[in-house]
Chains A and B, each alone.
Chain A
Amino acid sequence: MPTKIEKDAVSGQDTTGHEWDGVKELNTPLPTWWVYTFYACIVFALVYCVLYPSWPSLRGHTEGLLGHTNRADLARSLEAQTKSRAAFVDRIRTTSLADIRKDTGLFNFALAGGRSAFQTNCIQCHGAGGAGSVGYPNLADDKWLWGGEIGQIHTTIQHGIRNANEKSRQGLMPRFGADELLTAAQVAAVTDHVLSLSGRAKPTPEGAKVFQEQCLACHQADGKGNQELGAPNLTDGIWLYGGDRDSLYRTIFYARNGSMPAWGERLDEATLKMLALYVHSLGGGR
């Protein structure tokens, strides 16, 4: 115990009474406001420990009287969001696609919702804004494999393409070269014929013969394709897997047959409709 508490002559402060080799320590207590803030923090921490999850145990942790979890918070806020959108979403569910387009407010909501769903589910393959890439169609142009009307787009999104869904879009291009349905020379000839459809090569009788025998059933005699079968138009300037001779040769030799999931198995009806409206609005919708 310090015994001699005396005032320091220079600063006028109390000393602690401790002395080391003639040096006395000034007593500079913590500011009162600081001390009370510190006590308040301790009280806060104790109350927090009782009310909220805090202490770890061997299995899990203490739950706290309020039973608060961040996961429940998230669930609640998601629920609140769903609720706040319910009026619009219900109307979208019960309104036909054509009628939604006539209702400015509902249409704008659907476009915003579709855009959001598109960014979550679609841009991985189709790119932001539906720009597409090799093997994944550009959704902003006017070429459609399975039809560009709003209803057709909706069906494609709902059931997907070449997947296990019962109603999925089906259409198969044979692997003409790989499965030895055609010789390499025949594939080369028909490749030239396909190029000639868009005026990029001279038609040959040999190529025309192969095309007549093998391709006409799906791609039609004029090469304009058939959207029922997902057979693309071969006469225009848009090529999903590349329009140069080499890419076309590979397409005919090995076939392509890209697929898309049936989004109806994952998304609700309103989201599917919003997606269809959004994709239709990207520029190519008919």
Chain B
Amino acid sequence: MDTRHKDDDAVSLRTAKAALPLYLTRIKVYPRAVRGLWRRVKWAALILLLGIYYLVPWLRWDRGPGVPDQAILIDLDGRRGWFFDVVIWPQEIYFVTGLLILAAFGLFFATSLFGRVWCGFACPQTVWTDLFMLVERLIEGDRNERMRLDKAPISFGKAARKGLKHAAWLVIAAATGGAWIFYYVDAPTTLVSIFRGTASLEVYFFIGLLTATTYLLAGWAREQVCTYMCPWPRFQAAMLDEQSVIVTYQKWRGEQRGKHKAGQGWEGRGDCVDCNLCVAVCPTGIDIRDGQQTECIGCGLCIDACNQTMVKVGRPQDLIRWDTLANQQAKEQGARGVEWTPLRPRTLLYAALLAVVSAVILVAFFLRTDTELTVQRDRSPNIVRLSNGDVRNSYTVKILNKTQAEVRFELAVEKLPGVTLGFLAPEVEGAGAGTRMTVRPDSVGTFRVFLTVAAGTAPRGSRPIEFIVRDTAGRQRAAHASVFVGPAP
């Protein structure tokens, strides 16, 4: 059967919608399989990205006994983020914020250089849709077979194929949801408990949720996510300019388009033979020859499709190609074309922002300490008068030991002469100067501390003081400012 002929019927959604009334339901897109460079790049990106997604939770990292051995683990119950040898505590969530800001600027930067390269190659929606379309093609066949199958009345064969397809989709979707869960729990033990039915309700809920979203978004919604749901296409126009490299149809070379019979000459006409292959392979159902459109995700599959045809008809390749709008406009007007200038104020600005944010994150990361101290002064009672007139304040001192070893600390109070330290904790050895407080690895030690000052030397009103913890070698590990409140002046 001549599939080339069938694709002649392909029309872009824009054309189809223009002919339709005000209200219309979705026109289903049946993308045709295509081979070529960009298809191979997309397969490579798919294998790489899905490989990272599915395999990373299974990486092991030996951190010693009593702590998780999962290389990357966001332990919500234990309130720790484990990234190889880095342990993130909840109050350091700003590192995640920094990474998200970095990701946003990275996206802006890539978009100003290469248009919607993220959308076309790396976006999860694109990657999973590609995977789901592959499954669909293997089970139901290519574009024309799928169209025929959908038009055919229900039969055993049709039901079997459709059922098989949806079953395969659901399996992939469940694996996707499962992999998501493994970033938050220990992967090997949870995998076993999932199948034994002993995993927690949260685990089943989130697997179910992500199974449903993956199945619906990649199986059913597809290009509608990009066209209607995703905010990114709406404001990507602010990052793009005429110097961004995007998928372009070389109108000056292609027009006048028209059918071409073997043996005919090419004078007085364009190279486009109107085979409609570029429309048939488009995953969002548009015609690139209509120019720039919000629906275009920049995946480059129409380039592969057009090159197939150009080779067949013996014309130069790249009638549809990655190029800048500036270059195409110049050529359309008969000029020699415009050089691509990747270094423009816009790209330099995004690059500078990337560098600044990266520097801030790195500096913050290398300045982070392995010990933190927080001090909370009791306000009820605000001050305690002892029977001999001495004044006492009480404090809750928390020492955060972020190392993986037990540490013994000494606590000292400065800027308050004549102070006596009192403790209430069995794990504190000794009293007063040289008191040792032991804090277990990767945990917070909480201590009640009483500061007492003799009646004569007690400050009037509030006086700033400083708590300092030192390790047994005498090195200062952390400090925290607080106040000591004496009787009202």
A283 touches B23 (CB 8 A): no
A10 touches B381 (CB 8 A): no
The segment from A123-131, A152-160, A259-267 found at the interface with B is: A123-131
Nearest residue, chain B, Cβ from A144: B387
For window 298-332 of B, CB contacts with A under 8 Å fall at none
Most buried by B among A11, A104, A142, A283: A283
Chain B residues within an 8 Å CB radius of A104: 425-427
With an 8 A cutoff between CB atoms, is B138 at the interface? no
For window 1-22 of B, CB contacts with A under 8 Å fall at 20-22
Min C-beta distance of A247 to chain B, whole Å = 16
For window 103-146 of B, CB contacts with A under 8 Å fall at none
Q: Contact size class for A?
A: 20 to 34
B387 touches A283 (CB 8 A): no
With an 8 A cutoff between CB atoms, is B417 at the interface? no
A102 CA to B21 CA, complexed, in Å: 83
Chain B: interface residue total (CB-CB under 8 A):
24
Q: Report which of B22, B379, B389 forms a contact with A11, defined as CB distance below 8 A.
A: B22
A131 touches B385 (CB 8 A): no
A12 touches B384 (CB 8 A): no
B387 touches A142 (CB 8 A): yes
A107 touches B381 (CB 8 A): no
With an 8 A cutoff between CB atoms, is A251 at the interface? no
B23 touches A131 (CB 8 A): no
For window 98-137 of A, CB contacts with B under 8 Å fall at 101-104, 107, 127-132
A236 touches B387 (CB 8 A): yes
Nearest residue, chain B, Cβ from A142: B386
Chain B residues within an 8 Å CB radius of A103: 426
Q: Helix, strand, loop or mixed for chain A's interface?
A: loop
A103 CA to B394 CA, complexed, in Å: 23
With an 8 A cutoff between CB atoms, is B52 at the interface? no
A235 CA to B425 CA, complexed, in Å: 32
> What string of 1s and 0s marks CB contacts (under 8 Å) between B369-394 and chain A?
00000000011111011111100101
With an 8 A cutoff between CB atoms, is A197 at the interface? no
With an 8 A cutoff between CB atoms, is A183 at the interface? no
Chain B residues within an 8 Å CB radius of A128: 380
For window 1-28 of A, CB contacts with B under 8 Å fall at 10-13
Chain A residues within an 8 Å CB radius of B477: none
B386 touches A107 (CB 8 A): no
Known pairs A10-B22, A11-B22, A101-B426; list 8 more (Cβ under 8 Å): A10-B21, A127-B380, A141-B385, A142-B386, A236-B387, A238-B385, A282-B394, A283-B422
A-side residues, CB < 8 A to B, are 10-13, 101-104, 107, 127-132, 138, 140-143, 233, 236-238, 281-284
Supply 10 A–B pairs (Cβ within 8 Å), ascending by A: A12-B23, A103-B426, A107-B426, A127-B380, A130-B381, A138-B384, A142-B387, A143-B386, A236-B388, A236-B389
